[in-house]
Each structure stands twice: as C-alpha cells, then as structure tokens.
Chain A
Amino acid sequence: MEKKSITYLAIIGMIAMFFIGWGVTSLLTPVGGEQRATFVITGSTTTEPLITECADQFMAINPNVDISVSGTGSGSGISDTINGLNDIGMSSRNIKTTENDTAGGTLIDYKFAKDGIAIIISATHPNATWLQINGLTMDQVFLIYNGTYNTWDDINPSLVAQSIDVYTRPDGSGTRGSFEELVTKDSEELGDNSGYQTSVTGYIEVASNTVMAQQVGLNSYGFGYCGLGFVDANLIAVPVNGVVPSVATILDETYAISRSLHMLTNGPATGWVQAFIDFVYGPYGQKVVEDEGFIRIWF
C-alpha cells in the first residue's frame, strides 16, 4: 500500500509540475520580437468564415502573426470592440447609434464587402418556374414573412395550395436584422406595421447562411433568405420587385435587399491590425470575399 501511494503521489506530483511549468511559461512568454504577435477578432457568424479564411492566408504570408477568429454573433462582436475584448469586431448589420454612443463615438467602421440577401425557395418547388419568372414584390415578401400569407396560393391562386414554411435566423442575428430592416422599411406604405413584430416567431430558426441554404433546398415548400453567395443549384433566388439579385444589380443598388459587411475597431487601428485590414481590402482579401460568396467592393 505504502509503495503504491508513493507511485500515485509521484504521478500526481509530476502532473502538477507539468501544469505549473505550463502556467509559468505561458505567463513569461513575451509578445513581439521573434515571438508571435497575436490579436483577436470576434463577431458576426456570417462574416466569420470569410475573415477566418482571410486570416489563414494573412498568417501564411506573415508567419509571426497569430490571428484568432471566433464567430460569436454581430451583437457581441460590437460589444467586445466597445469593451476592448477584441482588436477587430465583425458585424453583418449596421452599427446602432446606441452602440456608437456607448463607445463614445470612437468606433471606426470598415465596410469591406457587400452582400445581397437573396429571397430563396427550393429548386424542387412545384411552381419554381412561375416564381422565377414572375418574382415577388417587396410587399409580398413582407406579407409572407409576417404571416399574412400562410399558403403559396395566398400569393397567387395559380400557385400550389401548400403551407409556406418560413425559415429565419435567430433573433438578434445580423442577417435577420438587416433583412427585417430592409423588408419592413419598404412596407411602411402598407400602413400595417403592427403585425410585423408579433407574428414572426414560430418560424424554423437556423444557425447560419449555410444551414439556411441547405434546409430550404431540402424543403420544396420552404421560404427563406440568405447571402447571395450561398445560393446553390438546389435553390432559386426569387426576383424581388422584378429585379434578379446578382452582383451587378446589388452594386448599382437596383436590388433592394442588400447590406455591407463590417469590420470595427475602437479607435484607429495600428500595427498588424492595420496591416490585416489593409490585407482584407487588398487583392487577396477581396478574392477571398468573392470566393466565400460575397461581393467585393472594388474590381
């Protein structure tokens, strides 16, 4: 028994030593010089894959830099920037004035990409061709989203008499915020804004653009919205107000539902942070923007 307990104690002691050593080295490791320069980016889940890829490429060129990217959602990305918990915040919606006020007006907003929010239905929808040709009006999109139209034949009697399965993003999501802001703004003339806020619960909520695209693609009667770049062969992006969403129509702003993707810093960026922002604006960064399905801001 005595021997065994010594062995156990020795093992525990060794493990403890290991951790103490780990803790001490991690505390003592200086930043800079030959060591890594680290900085943190948090925020929008829509923007996160794009920035992650940019960061990976940036780190491949600058091996001394270590950028940590986390997708936490637009709201907490902005709050993190305000509270100094990150170096760059990502947001897929516009910064609220309240947020800028909290920060004391020091937030700097970098709009580094554009994104059209496509209204999507499945390619297997029985009336896919009709919808692709005739499209929907902004009012119709709004009336579907606020629950006034429950079945497809509510929109037009020639459509199939099946329920419209509306997909949305979680409350607070930047994409959802932009979508609701843009869709309801044009629906003010309906004079019935009261219905908007109360009836949009109860829709299927999906975690990301990719899941939205996948789920609506699988559901013949689905209706949803996602970034234009996520529209694949299983989906049809429905023309809105007669305008087909495309890079051209989003850039000349004839397609109404579009937004910018933002990077934020609290005060002017310096050093590697500035270099990274420049990289995102530069040719490599903008190529990633395009590859990940968003629209570059210059050509």
Chain B
Amino acid sequence: MATETVYDQILYKEDLSYLKKNRDPIIKWTLFVFASIATIFVFLIIIFLFINGAPFFAAVPLNDFLFGTNWLPTAGDFGALPIIVDTLLVTFGAIIIALPLGLATAIFIAEIAPPKLRKALKFTVEILAGIPSIVYGFFGLIVLNVIIKDIFGLHYGNSWLSGSFILAIMALPTIVSVCEDAIRAVPDYYRNASYAMGATKWQTIRKIVIPAGMSGITAAIILGIGRALGETMAMLLVIGNCKTFPEPLTNLLDCVAVITSTIAAGWGPTEQGSLEQRSYLALAIFLFLMTLIINTIANLILSRIQRKFSGERSKKRFSEFRESKLYKYMQKYKQLLLTIIISGLFILIPIDFVSRVIGVSICIGLSFLMYIRKKVPQNKKKWITYGIIIAFVGWVLSTWIGILLAITICVLILGTIYVIRRISTVSQQRLWFSIIYLFSLLAVIIVGILVSYIVVRGFPVLLEPDFLTGFPSDNGREGGILPAIVGTLELTLGSIAFALPLGVCAGIYLSEYAKNNRITKIIRAGIDNLNGTPSIVFALFGFVFFILFFGLGRSLLVGILTLGLMILPTIIRTTEEAVKAIPQSFREGSLALGSSKWQGIGKIVFPAAIPGIITGAILGMGRSAGETAPIMFTAVRSSARWITFSLFEPVMALTYHLYRLNTEVLDAVDKAAGTALTLLILVLLLYAFAFIIRSRYEKRKQW
C-alpha cells in the first residue's frame, strides 16, 4: 500500500471496480429472491389458515359461529359468541387497569424523572416486555388466583379480574413505551410556549402535551389491546376457561374463556382433519382478523403522527374523500350512525329481551347525552363526560355492591373532582404529581413482586447440585433441566439462524431497492400485520403446514421453522428501521466517490446498521426463547435422557417444561420456580445484551 501512489491505485483498480459494479444486478436479484421467500412465507401463513379453515365455514353457517352461544365442537355446537365476548371483556378490563398505570409511568419517565432514573425505569419497562408469558401464568395460578379468592371470599379465583390483571401487567411495557414515544414526539416549543404563558408544569402536561400526544396514546392503547388479545399461555392457566358470559355481564369475579386459551386447550385432543379441529382454525382466523384490524388502525394512527409533526400533508386520495358529500353527511350524522350500528348489534346478538332493551336504551341515552353536550357552553362540557363515565362506573359497581353504596361512591368521586377543580394550580400539580408517582411506583412494585417471588422460590433450586446439569426424572419432580436448557437454546439459535438471513435480506431489499409501488405496500402491510399476530396462530400454522401438509413429525426442525416464521416479521422490520436510520448523506457520499449502489450499501450502510440489526435479532431470540404456544404442538417432548442435536427429533424446552410442571406435576412447585427463574435469566440476559449493544452504539454514533 505504502509504495503505491493514489494514482497507481486508481489505475490498478479501475477494471476491478467496473467488474464490481457489474455485480450489482446479481446482488439485487439475490436480495429480491430472499425478500420474496420471506414474503411468500408471510402470505403463506394467511393463505394456509384460510384454506384449511374454509371447509369449516362451508359446513357451519357464519351466523351460528358468530352468534351461537354454545361452544361444544365434539357435539357439533360451534357458537363462539361467549368466547368472543369474554375475550373482549378481559381485554377491556386489562386496558382499564393498564392505561392509568402505563400513562402515569410514561409521563413520569418522559416529563418528570431525572435522567438517571429515567434510564433505569426505561430499562425496567423494556426488560418487563421480555418476561415469558408462561412465567406470568405460573405467578397468576400460584399467587394471584389465591389472593383474589381470599380477598373477595369466592369459591374459586379463576376469574375475569385475575385474567385482566395479568394481561394488564403484560400490556404495560407496550403501553408505557409507545406512550412515552408519543409524549417525547411533542416538540419542545409546545412546552416552552405554554411555560411562557405562565402555565405550571402539570398544566402544560395536562393541556398541551397529552392532547398533542393523544393519537400516540390512542395507538398505545390499541397496541396494548393487540398484545392482550394474543396472549395464550398465561390465560390458559389463570382464567377458568368457562365458555359462558359472565353472570351478570359486569361480574368481574366470574369465570371466563378467551379465544387463545380455547384454541390451546382444544386443539390437541381433537381428531386431526375433523370439523372439530377446523373449528379451532376458524377461531384462529377470527383472532387473526381481529388483530389485523387492530394493528392496521394502530399503524394508521402512528403514521398520521409522523405526518403531523413532520408537516406533511395528508394523502390526496383521502382529502378527495374528505371533500365528498358522503363524508360530510357521515360527519354530520356520525353519532346517529354509530347509535344505529351499536343498537343493531344489540338486537342481532341472541341475548335475552331485557338485556336487549337495556343495551339499546343505553345506546340511545348516550347519544342523546352527547347531543346535549354539544349544546351546553364550553366550560360545562366536561361535567357531562364525567357524568357519563361515573354513571357507567356506578352501574358496574351497583351490580356488585348494591345501588345505594354505588351511588354514595359516585357522589364522593364527583365531589372530589369538584374540589380538585377549585384548589390552587400549585396544589393541583402537587396532587396530580403524587398520583403519577404513586401509579409509577405501583407499576414497579407489581413487577417487583412478580420477579422477587420467582427469584426467592427459584434461587435455592438453582443451587441444587444437579438442577442445571442433570436430567429430569420422575416427571420433573426430581433431577434437573439440562435437556430443557439445551433444547431452548437449540430452538432459539435455530430459529434465529433461519430467520436472520431471510429477514435481513428482505429488510435491506425493502428499504433500499423496492420501488414505492402497490406491491411493496402490500408486502409491507403483510409483514407489519404478522408482527402483531398472536403466537397461537403461528402454532396452528406450523402444525397444519409442516406436520400435516409436509408430513414432518413433531421435531426440532418444525419448532425452529415455526418460531423462525414468528420472529421473521420482527427481524425484517428492525432491519428496515436500522437501515433507514442511516443518514442519506452516507449513501450520497459513497455514490459521489464513484461506488455502485451495492458497494455503498454493502460497505457503508450495512456495517453502520449492523448494531441495530443485532439488537433486533437478539430481541427476536428473546421472544422465541420465551414462547410456549408455537412449540407446544410442533416440537416438544416431555422428558429426555439424551442431549440431542438432531433436527428430526423433538426436544425439551424450558417453557413447555414449566407448563408441564404447572399442569401435570403440581407437587413440584419449587422445581417449577427454578425452571421459571432459569428461563427468566436466559431471556433477560439476551435482552440485557441487546440493550448494551444498543447503548454502546448510540454512544459511538457520529451523526
């Protein structure tokens, strides 16, 4: 090198660089092939579910499925309404619990906390997202259900409340991080303008920041709903899986069933290829469509925020629609429309006459109140909203504790609101801030209890001589979990080895090469939606596609492929984001030096994006290590005396082992806690690793 001049170098390399430029189309097509494989898999999932579910919909009228009230597939009853309603109720309850906690924590992190505490809290919240759902299930079954049973003096603790509570903790990380992003996205000059007007910090948060971040908060709620809807293993263990409506409909303490747990419990025992089995596929399709709608709405809202703060105008197609007459009519009569639709739903669903009348009259009453609300002066409007909310709370309360007590509580709440509005702004700020502190603290405490319970019970087991290095015996009551640890590692590494090349190539292709046309949009939409699809849907796909269609037995390979497909969308997305985050000037600089497009991407953009991609990959590994549902039907075995590396044999896995210890072998709670702790440590190590890489990368970032 030293002896050559720059001129020599250019002369010498001229031909070579020409050759290298010729490589470009080859690389582009290779990337395209990988991207198509990834995309084909993504769409295969959707297509295969529908094809296999089709015979069910041909045999059973949709009306019987959606509005029947009796779910007993072996007897030919396929009424999924109670399961669907219960799912919505449990999810609704979870959001009601998670939203105040999550929003308060997000406000605390984004606006109030000092930088060091902020970092620690953010880390905790993100770590929380990595706790495997089976661990929550274990905690819910052993601790929460017993507490709820004792507090309320019930016969049993398997209830809507415990389900919602567990789901709330699980949805919390999603809600906190999306809310926090939304609040931080509000430009600082909004705040400064507010302070300049003499507003207090709380007034700024309350009147400026939250309204400006409202659409992000809505997206957080919707994403939280999506997370809660797809939860399987914890629900299977915690709620009682009663396929009825709660009695009465507001009874938080009644036993309920959700779609995911119904599928997980019912799929295994049914005869393969029978109508019964297809009925569970139909449930999975329904769940898939539900999450599809929810994710689409969330994505729309989130992209609208980006446009809002970046000053872009909304799309032309949309603005044309906005100017049309139909839209204006819809705007004018949207309340009437909504009322008619919801009342119609109440009339359509087969509930008893009294409930129908109550439902319809509540609908009409609400819309009448909203109509009045428009007429009253600005400063009184709030009271009508409060009134509606408190009337609702009162109604729910009255079904538990009697009307008189409920009214007293409602009056007290109204009085408190009245008093709060009268006190000085400084005291108001103090009050609200203490509420925020309290809620954030509560969120941390709940997580603390969960983790410390598992650590306290599990740690002594980890210290047992044979636990981490021995083989299980007597159905896991004795011995260790070595094959399960190895199995989980095999599944995790295997799935990442399958998903990473495909996902990275697809991500690079999508962000750098794909033209911004309709096909790309469809591909992107498909990937985005699969990102939020419940794991139980992947489980059924893996079973139907690899085991039934391809005739592969229950094996490590099928588990790897199923898990790999599950994390593929995440990897494509993180790759795309990591590559997109590299400033355009890098590419321009490279092109200006005479490099080809691929030279620029391969030498400049991709290396710079690697830390981001690795973070995504590790998060994907954490997710696949913590999943139970996708491997439950496809890859696991109960016990093992060998450490096997064969792709064509089933393996043990920590998650499934824990599930087994919770359902088959109940007298080994300590072993279960030890397994839970091992799983927790494994997943959290992966997550911590990802965060270390990310923070180092952020420090080194030079642009």
Question: Chain A residues in contact with chain B, CB under 8 A?
Answer: 1-2, 4-5, 8, 15-16, 19, 22-23, 25-27, 29, 36, 38, 40, 42, 45, 48-49, 52-53, 55-56, 59-60, 66, 68-76, 78-80, 83, 85-86, 99, 162-163, 165, 170-174, 177, 197-198, 200-208, 210-211, 213-215, 218-222
Contact = CB atoms under 8 A, between A and B. Distances in A.
B363 to A, nearest CB: 27
Interface string B133-158: 00000000000001001000001101
B607 A8 contact: yes
Interface of B: 70-75, 77, 82, 146, 149, 155-156, 158, 236-237, 240-244, 255, 257, 265-274, 276-277, 473-475, 493-494, 497, 501, 547-548, 551, 553-554, 603-604, 606-608, 610, 633, 636-642, 644-650, 660, 662-666
A26 B646 contact: yes
A74 B637 CA distance: 16
A146 to B, nearest CB: 12
Given A66-B641, A171-B269, 7 more contacts: A4-B607, A26-B646, A73-B270, A80-B272, A165-B156, A203-B242, A215-B158
A168 B149 CA distance: 19
A85 B551 CA distance: 8
Contacts of B149: 218
A237 to B, nearest CB: 18
25 contacts: A1-B604, A16-B501, A27-B647, A29-B646, A45-B269, A56-B473, A56-B474, A66-B644, A66-B649, A69-B637, A72-B269, A75-B268, A76-B272, A165-B155, A170-B266, A197-B72, A197-B77, A198-B70, A202-B82, A204-B242, A205-B265, A208-B663, A211-B663, A218-B146, A220-B155
Contact of B645 (A25, A165, A218): A25
Contacts of A74: 269
B269 A210 contact: no
B64 to A, nearest CB: 14
Contact of B244 (A171, A202, A215): A202
Contact of A19 (B77, B241, B494, B646): B494
B610 A202 contact: no
Contacts of A219: 155-156
A55 B551 CA distance: 25
A16 B641 CA distance: 28
A170 B637 contact: no
Contacts of B240: 204-206
A66 B274 CA distance: 32
A55 B271 contact: no
Nearest to A216: B156
Contacts of B74: 171-172, 177
A8 B553 CA distance: 36
Nearest to B240: A204
B359 to A, nearest CB: 21
Contacts of A79: 271-273
A75 B270 contact: yes
B696 to A, nearest CB: 12
B637 A70 contact: yes
Contacts of B604: 1
A218 B269 contact: no
B475 A200 contact: no
A200 B257 contact: no
Contact of B271 (A53, A75, A211): A75
B155 A99 contact: no
Given A8-B610, A40-B650, A76-B270, A204 B156 contact: yes
Contacts of B501: 16
A52 B156 CA distance: 31
A99 B606 CA distance: 56
Given A4-B607, A23-B647, A211-B663, A163 B269 contact: no
Contacts of B666: 210-211, 213-214
B608 to A, nearest CB: 7
B73 A26 contact: no
Nearest to A198: B70
A76 B603 CA distance: 52
A49 B644 contact: no
Contacts of B155: 162-163, 165, 219-222
A205 B359 CA distance: 30
Contacts of B73: 171-172
